[in-house]
Amino acid sequence: MLFECKENLRQALANVNKAPMTDSRRNQLSLWTKGVLSRLLPKGQDAIALEMVSGDASFRRYFRVRAGNDSFVAVDAPPENEDGRTFEDISNLFRQAGVVVPKIYSADHERGFMLLSDLGDMLYHDVLREAQQFDQIEVADSLYQRAISSLLAFQTSIDKGTLDPYNKYELRKEMELFEEWFCGEFLSLPLNQDIRDLIDETFGFLEDAALGQPEVAVHRDYHSRNLMVLDPAIFGEEAGPGIIDFQDAVFGAYTYDLVSLLRDCYLNWSPEQVDKWATGYLEQAGERAIVHDVDQQQFFRDFDLMGLQRHLKVMGIFARLNIRDNKPCYLADIPQVIRYFLEVSQRYREISPFVDWFNKDLLPVARTKLNLDY
């Protein structure tokens, strides 16, 4: 989740960039980067000091380094916490699929350092926010059409055996974050055995719904803060989006990335607009043989239920980021996630007992804790 908590980071990044280089890993990364660039760049073109771009929801840190008219991104990914080899392998898969991801110029996986091409710092999120503010739906539509085109490209190009399966174990592990971190650690909500059984039954239903869908490559965090608006002078008028934070990609349900994109935790569009974009995806997915004989009713059921699984997971992740990782800025995004869950879950009688419990027992506590206005 690169570039998360952007507003909260600005002052911290300013302080970091002004401060002396007392961070030993940053010092090591700086020396390594300058060594790599000395081999890549013409003689006499020196790199300037690293400038921190951001941290993210993991242990990775990103630094911009400039050399003449060129710009690169140096990555600090401690090997005890991050898997650089997987990042490189999946980067190659996405690039071979014809979508834009950062090019890896050099990597030292033992030390946890990488040097990447720079896709800029214009997030989809920021441009889409402005489009919403000024009612520029044509701008938003163009960006989403490009994002859907890239999504279809890697869904049709990456083969099943090249990625780990998004299996029952992974789906369950994600939803258990909701029970442990959102209900337990954050809300301190008591859960008796009957409620735990109800939660287990609901998780099982959502797992089965996901596992019954056609399978494709899944980015796993395909949303507005992981998509970049690319400079047309560098990448061309038709390029984009630039795709980042793809290292957790798996092979799973075809609607996962689409619902992540259109029911974004950081942006809110009208249901009518979401349905329009989603229907456009379905038409193209049928043309590309991603789906066979899936009508709109089945498609939107798949889309909805996959979204419920994701949003339960995200409630847990955001709570954990606040409590364990001391990143309280994620709490501001939980109300949007809960709103999605409430709007969609009421459509499915199979989980109505869980929804009743959510509304009766969980929501009042969440209202107080998060200052919800609904």
DSSP conformational letter for 53: E
Q: In which band, very low, low, confident or very high, does the pLDDT at 56 lie, cut at 50, 70 and 90? A: low
| pLDDT tens track for 24-49 | 999 999 999 999 998 888 775 676 77
Q: Please report where in the chains the tokens 């607009």 appear, as a residue.
A: 273
Residue 313 reports pLDDT greater than 60: yes
Q: What is the pLDDT of residues 252-285, one digit of tens each?
A: 999 999 999 999 999 999 999 999 999 999 999 9
Q: What is the dihedral of CA 235, 247, 221, 158, to 10 degrees?
A: 70
Q: Please give the torsion angle defined by the CA atoms of residues 217, 220, 224 and 226, in that order, rounded to the nearest 10 degrees.
A: -90
Residue 188 pLDDT level (bands cut at 50, 70, 90): very high
The pLDDT of residue 3 is above 60 = no
pLDDT at res. 58? 64
The residue-averaged pLDDT of 185-201 equals 99
How do residues 118-137 score in pLDDT, each as one tens digit?
999 999 999 999 999 999 99
Task: Tell me if 155 sits within 8 A of 217, measured CB to CB.
Answer: yes
Q: What are the boundaries of each domain within the chain?
A: 6-117, 124-370
> In this predicted structure, what is the pLDDT of residue 14?
43
Mean pLDDT, residues 297-304 taken together: 99
Whether 91 and 116 have beta carbons less than 8 Å apart is answered as: no
- Measured CA to CA, the distance from residue 374 to residue 368 in angstroms comes to 11
The hierarchical CATH code for the domain 124-370 is 3.90.1200.10
CATH class of the 6-117 domain in this structure: alpha beta
Three-state DSSP class for residue 21: coil
| Percentage, residues of the chain above pLDDT 70 | 92
Helix (H) or strand (E) holding 185: none
| 242 vs 229: CA distance, rounded Å | 7
60 residue type, one letter: R
Is 52 a residue whose pLDDT tops 90? no
Span between the terminal Cα atoms of the chain, in Å:
27
